[in-house]
Structure formats: C-alpha cells, structure tokens
C-alpha cells in the first residue's frame, strides 16, 4: 500500500527539494500539491510527485487529500513554505494527523500579534506600532524614533523589510508596502505594516524542536537598508553567559506560546541589556540552516520533522561537535549572467563540503534586497570553527559572476 506524505507548496530552494528526497528515503511517497507546477522545475520533481491543486482553496486541498487517501494511506501533511504552514496544519487537523496547533501558528506568523503577545508576558521585543496607512506609518516612526524598521506584518526571507533613516524614507517604503496587493507567491497581502525600533546588536537564530533547543546560529546580514541574510555560522561562537541568556529567553517564549510540537526558528538580536526577540517562525529554518546542523552535529532536522509529521517520535541525537558555515553568493547587479568563474577553484579548497549555483549563464537576475538575491552558496565544515568560517569565506570570494545589464520588469515569481 502506498504511504503518502503530502506537501502543500514548498520552498523553491533550500530545504524544499531536501524534504522530498528525505521522504522518499524513508519509504514514503511524497507528493507536492501546488497551483503552479512550473515554479518547481528546478527541483527536478518527477511527474507523479506533483499534483496541480488550488492551494488557496482549503476545500480543494481537502478533496485532493481525500482522493489520495483512497489510493493509499495518508501518513502526514506539511509544508516547507512559510506561507502554507497554516494551511497544512489546518488540513492535517481535519484528517486527524499531527501538526502544530493552528492558534500557535497564527500567533507567530502575524508579526504584530506576536509582538503584542510577547510584550504581555514580559519578553523583550522591539518597540512597535502597526500602521494601516501612510500617515499612520509616519506617525509611528516619529513616535518610535529613527532609524525605524518597516516590514509587512506577514512575510518571510527579509522580503519588504527596510531600515528607514527619515520621514521621506518611511513614506516611500510605507507607500510601496501598502500598495502591494500580492506577495511574490501571488497571495493577498494584509493592508497592514509594522513599524519597529531598530535593535542594535549581533543577530542570531535559535533552532528548536518541540521544547528542545537544538542550537544557536550566528547570522551575517547584508548592507543596510536591507536585512537579507548573506551567511550563517553554526553553532554560533558565544560566551557561556550569552548562550545561557539566549536559551533562557527562548524557553520562556516556547512555554508562553505553548509551542510543544515540531521545529521552530526563532530570530533575535543580542544587545548589552540581553536578547531581544525579533520573530518566531513556526517552521524549520530556511537558508540551508538544517544542512549546517547536519554537517556540524550529524542531526538531521528535515528527517526529524518528517518523522514527527507522520506521528512518530524523532531522536534528536547529536553525533559530533563540529562547525559549519554557509556564505551565499548574492546578485550584485541586474541583468543577464554571461559567465560564472571560480567554481572549481572554490571546490578544491579544504573543508568545502557543498557548492551550489542556482543560476546559469543566460539567466536574468534582479536585485530585490531580500532572499531572492541569493544565486548560489558555499558550505564549509570542520572541527575548527575558525577553519570552517575562513574556508567558506575564501570559497565565496573565488566565485565570480559577470553580467550583461538589461532592462528588467518587476515580477512576483519567487526565485
């Protein structure tokens, strides 16, 4: 009998393809429900692994899963996409399958709601105000002070997040965000944005599973005014005191939210006064962080997530104590890629364990100021954190892209 594990849409890079591969490795039959199969061409999915469904229609999703259940056993329903974790959890609940409580997901995904809740339980968050108009955003920024951070209330991958130094920058960014009716996936955007205090301090994320803290990731952020993540080091090199501070606040966050099932990716900044929570993402980390955990500690968080999704208890056992670093190759110009050099040189470096180039000569790229600017990555792993970091950075410098500038129209297609 076929044992199905259903994915409601997916990341188009990072963990997306890895989830499909891991499911097959466990003898499960993965199937991706999507309204746009062409979005996943680069993932190399087999025809029988994709089913075209309107993934914004819960009843259509239910009928598709009901049909699959007649052709085999429906073992689990999930999503590796931030935008569809809620839909997957609702659907899993309707079929009596394991998932994080939808109330927890909704509290995390709405950034205003999360800030309000954490503030009510004495967890420090940036000062914030929600705005539903340009004038309200300007008033909020004046109250909070400059520089101020503007972002959508629902989003991922640093999309739409911008540091604004003055009122004119606030007006421009608020206008752009509030006029945007749909996101890069074609989903409706809430007519609300969040204005926040800029927190000064190093940025980290904490990877958790249920009520277990897996580890802390150090983040590298691109050039302001944007917040695109350009690299990660895992586990983060921290003093024992700083690590304890972070772990204490994260445990409080998980307990307060009643977050007791599956993975979470909690983002924070460490200030002189202690950690400040920025976001709680009700899903596994993106950006290949799960692969860093696997290279560094031998713990497969993708497999652990799948095991939980099908109703079993994963063993969160770390097999080694190494370090892993990723550096993303970022689009630095808009236009057609005409040449890519240095890949073999980078691959020959010691401790480099993975190099992927997401684009090829002839592809046209844009610069968005978010995750879509990533056009490749290098990963290095070693028992020494210094060697892992230095080798990843050296490999990153080896690879060069040459561009032929061209006129590009804006697009919502997710890259």
CATH, residue 370: 3.90.1170.50
- Supply the DSSP string of 131-179, one letter for each residue: ESSHHHHHHHHHHH-SSEEEEESS--TTTT-EEE-SHHHHHHHHHHHHH
Rounded to an integer, what is the distance from CA 199 to the centroid of its chain?
A: 20
Pairwise CA distance, residues 366 & 204, whole Å: 27
**Residue 119 forms part of a structural domain:** no
Residues 183 and 225 placed together within one structural domain of the fold: no
Residues 158 and 207 placed together within one structural domain of the fold: no
Mean pLDDT for each 10-residue chunk of the chain (415 residues)?
Answer: 94 82 92 93 83 95 96 95 95 97 97 98 98 98 98 92 98 96 85 97 98 97 95 98 98 97 98 97 94 98 97 96 98 94 97 96 93 96 98 98 73 36
**Residue 105 forms part of a structural domain:** no
pLDDT value at position 11?
Answer: 86
pLDDT value at position 410?
Answer: 45
| Residue recorded with tokens 């002839």 | 362
Among residues 150, 166, 197, which one ends one of the domains?
Answer: 197
Catalytic residue, from 17, 22, 159, 283: name it.
Answer: 283
Pairwise CA distance, residues 72 & 197, whole Å: 51
Return the SS3 of 193. Answer: strand
Distances (CA, A) of 113 to 78, 95, 203, 285: 23, 28, 22, 21
Pairwise CA distance, residues 196 & 170, whole Å: 11
Residues 239 and 352 placed together within one structural domain of the fold: no
Question: Tokens in use for 287?
Answer: 């950006």
| Residue recorded with tokens 């997401």 | 358
Among residues 144, 166, 197, which one ends one of the domains?
Answer: 197
Residues 223 and 309 placed together within one structural domain of the fold: yes
**Residue 177 forms part of a structural domain:** yes
**Residue 191 forms part of a structural domain:** yes
**Residue 84 forms part of a structural domain:** yes
**Residue 112 forms part of a structural domain:** no
**Residue 275 forms part of a structural domain:** yes
Contact 355, 378 (CB under 8 A): yes
Which of 63-72 are b and which e, b meaning 16 or more Cβ less than 10 Å from the residue's Cβ? ebbeebeeee
Residues 292 and 396 placed together within one structural domain of the fold: no
CATH, residue 21: 3.40.50.720
Residue 225: cis peptide before it, omega within 30 degrees of 0: yes
Per residue in 40-54, pLDDT (tens digit) is 887 778 888 899 999
Residues 224 and 306 placed together within one structural domain of the fold: yes
Residues 152 and 250 placed together within one structural domain of the fold: no
Per residue in 180-204, pLDDT (tens digit) is 998 878 888 899 999 999 999 999 9
Residues 206 and 316 placed together within one structural domain of the fold: yes
The range of the structural domain enclosing residue 338 comes to 327-415
Among residues 197, 212, 232, which one ends one of the domains?
Answer: 197
Helix (H) or strand (E) holding 219: strand 212-221
CATH, residue 289: 3.30.470.20
Domain count, the chain: 4
Residues 261 and 314 placed together within one structural domain of the fold: yes
pLDDT value at position 411?
Answer: 40
CATH, residue 158: 3.30.1490.20
Residue 185 designated active-site: no
**Sign of the CA dihedral with 383 first, then 389, 391, and 396 last:** positive
**Beta-carbon contacts of residue 164 (< 8 Å; ≥ 6 apart):** 141, 146, 147, 148, 149, 150, 170, 173, 225
Residues 284 and 295 placed together within one structural domain of the fold: yes
Task: Work out the number of other CB atoms within 10 angstroms of the CB of residue 46.
Answer: 9
**Residue 121 forms part of a structural domain:** no
Residues 306 and 216 placed together within one structural domain of the fold: yes
pLDDT value at position 406?
Answer: 67
């Amino acid at each position: 009998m076929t044992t199905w594990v259903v994915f409601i849409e997916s990341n188009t890079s990072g963990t997306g393809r890895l989830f499909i591969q891991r499911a097959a490795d466990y003898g499960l039959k993965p199937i991706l429900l999507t309204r746009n199969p062409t979005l996943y061409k680069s993932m190399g999915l087999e025809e029988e692994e994709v089913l075209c469904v309107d993934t914004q229609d819960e009843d259509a999703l239910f009928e598709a899963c009901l049909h699959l259940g007649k052709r085999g056993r429906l073992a689990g329903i999930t999503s590796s996409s931030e935008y569809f974790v809620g839909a997957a959890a609702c659907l899993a609940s309707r079929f009596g399958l394991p998932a994080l409580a939808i109330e927890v997901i909704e509290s995390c995904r709405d950034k205003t709601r999360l800030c309000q809740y954490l503030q009510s339980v004495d967890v420090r968050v940036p000062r914030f105000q929600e705005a539903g108009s340009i004038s309200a955003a300007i008033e909020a920024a004046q109250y909070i002070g400059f520089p101020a951070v503007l972002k959508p209330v629902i989003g991922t991958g640093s999309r739409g997040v911008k540091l604004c130094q003055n009122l004119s920058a606030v007006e421009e960014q608020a206008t752009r965000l509030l006029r945007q009716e749909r996101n890069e996936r074609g989903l409706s955007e809430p007519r609300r944005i969040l204005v926040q205090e800029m927190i000064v301090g190093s940025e980290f994320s904490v990877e958790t599973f249920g009520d277990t803290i897996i580890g802390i990731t150090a983040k590298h952020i691109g050039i302001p005014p944007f917040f695109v993540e350009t690299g990660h080091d895992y586990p983060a090199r921290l003093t024992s005191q700083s690590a304890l501070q972070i772990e204490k606040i994260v445990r409080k966050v998980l307990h307060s939210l009643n977050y007791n099932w599956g993975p979470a990716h909690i983002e924070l900044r460490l200030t002189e006064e202690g950690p400040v929570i920025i976001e709680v993402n009700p899903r596994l980390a993106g950006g290949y962080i799960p692969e860093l955990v696997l290279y560094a500690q031998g713990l497969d968080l993708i497999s652990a997530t799948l095991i939980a999704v099908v109703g079993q208890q994963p063993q969160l056992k770390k097999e080694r104590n190494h370090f892993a670093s990723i550096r993303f190759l970022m689009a630095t110009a808009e236009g057609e890629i005409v040449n890519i050099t240095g890949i073999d040189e980078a691959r020959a470096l010691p401790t480099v364990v993975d190099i992927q180039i997401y684009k090829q000569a002839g592809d046209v790229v844009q610069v968005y100021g978010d995750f879509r600017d990533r056009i490749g990555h290098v990963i290095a792993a070693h028992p020494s954190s210094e060697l892992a970091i230095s080798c990843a950075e050296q490999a990153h410098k080896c690879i060069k892209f040459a561009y032929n500038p061209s006129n590009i129209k804006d697009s919502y297609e997710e890259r």
